[in-house]
């Protein structure tokens, strides 16, 4: 990756921490579903926690949720939630289009209707998403982004997962008609959000039955999580894991790390194409624009019938 591309990626990753409300200058229009918001989304501003700072949470309800009052639904939790549904809150002006893609996949009977919970990030994004156990006693860690440097500690990911498991999930399960077991509860994210999604399944395998990790930022902390996860993956008989990455900008760094993760998956008993998927998208870069194009794949993997 050229120095110019690395610096552009560093700026984008840093900007992801506090997204602006709009970015109308983004062009051309992205591939994938049309930009906008589709369906019913309920917004919870400054959702409070005893363990981490308050943050916004959005809950997307599948078509037919209000009509069939007896149906219960699986739940998918997504990181960097401001980038999931609405281009007006996504820091690049391009969202993942999960609402449009889920609506289409449900209509095609490609996935089970599901509730999607989007958890917004905070200025402590790096600290909350970096797997804490992999750091040991380190109070600071490398960002893994050329030009961005070190991230001040301490890591907060164990507290963040307690928030998800002990506070947010009980609220969602009480407020909505969910299927609360691990075979119906999944987590998904990109970049640092991919790290915390896998870490969630590893630390709480009794809660989460699978994770989708797009453009996972393995180089954070000099790849410490890649080393730490070997021998610690959740049981393959009851879990499923999805990984992917592109080949441009920051994603150009990921292939050697992903190869080590794939080897750890094989050693743990996972089978490619059944409960483990690892894909490469040539030409794809590290951006919401790229993730919205391929978001259907991990959704079908986690929620497919």
Q: Coil, strand or helix: which one is 240? A: strand
Nearest partner of 10 among 129, 126, 90, 131, judged by Cα: 126
Dihedral sign for Cα 232, 275, 285, 192, please.
negative
Q: How far apart are the C-alpha atoms of 113 and 17, rounded to whole Å?
A: 31
- Least confident stretch, 4-8, 27-31, 45-49, 193-197: 4-8
Kindly tell me if the per-residue pLDDT of 260 is higher than 90: yes
Write the pLDDT tens digit of every residue in 115-148: 999 999 999 999 999 999 999 877 899 999 999 9
pLDDT range class, residue 267, cuts 50, 70, 90? very high
Pairing between β-strand 55-61 and β-strand 40-47 as defined by DSSP bridges: antiparallel
Count other Cβ atoms within 10 Å, centred on residue 260: 15
Distances 43 to 123, 155, 199 between C-alpha atoms, Å: 20, 28, 26
CB 249 within 8 A of CB 5: yes
pLDDT of res. 34: 64
Q: Per CATH, the architecture of 3-303 is what?
A: 3-Layer(aba) Sandwich (3.40)
The 10s digit of each residue's pLDDT in 16-37 is: 433 333 333 333 445 667 667 8
pLDDT tens, 36-58? Answer: 788 899 999 999 999 999 999 99
Mean pLDDT throughout 149-168? Answer: 96
- Nearest-CA neighbor of 193 among 223, 214, 165? 214
pLDDT tens across 271-281, in order? 999 999 999 99
Average pLDDT of the chain to the nearest whole number? 91
């Amino acid at each position: 990756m050229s120095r110019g591309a690395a610096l552009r990626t560093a700026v984008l990753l840093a900007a992801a921490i506090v997204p602006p409300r709009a970015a109308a200058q983004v062009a051309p229009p992205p591939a994938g579903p049309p930009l906008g918001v589709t369906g019913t989304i309920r917004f919870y501003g400054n959702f409070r926690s005893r363990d981490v700072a308050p943050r916004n949470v959005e809950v997307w309800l599948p078509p037919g949720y209000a009509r069939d009052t007896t149906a219960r639904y699986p739940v998918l939790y997504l990181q960097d939630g401001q980038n999931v549904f609405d281009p007006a809150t996504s820091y690049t002006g391009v969202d993942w289009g999960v609402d449009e893609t889920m609506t289409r996949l449900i209509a095609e009977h490609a996935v089970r209707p599901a509730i999607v919970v989007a958890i917004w990030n905070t200025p402590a994004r790096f600290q909350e998403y970096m797997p804490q156990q992999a750091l040991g006693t380190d109070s600071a860690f490398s960002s893994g982004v050329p030009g961005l440097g070190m991230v001040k500690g301490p890591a907060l990911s164990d507290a963040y997962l307690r928030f998800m498991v002990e506070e947010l999930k009980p609220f969602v399960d009480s407020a909505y008609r969910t299927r609360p077991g691990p075979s119906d509860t999944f987590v998904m994210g990109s970049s640092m959000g991919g790290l915390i999604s896998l870490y969630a399944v590893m630390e709480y395998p009794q809660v989460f039955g699978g994770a989708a990790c797009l453009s996972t930022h393995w180089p954070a902390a000099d790849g410490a999580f890649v080393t730490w996860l070997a021998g610690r993956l959740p049981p393959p008989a009851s879990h499923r894991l999805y990984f992917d990455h592109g080949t441009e900008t920051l994603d150009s760094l990921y292939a050697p790390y992903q190869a080590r993760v794939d080897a750890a998956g094989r050693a743990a008993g996972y089978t490619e194409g059944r409960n483990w998927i690892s894909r490469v998208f040539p030409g794809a870069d590290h951006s919401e624009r790229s993730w919205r194009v391929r978001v259907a794949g991990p959704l079908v993997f986690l929620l497919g019938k």
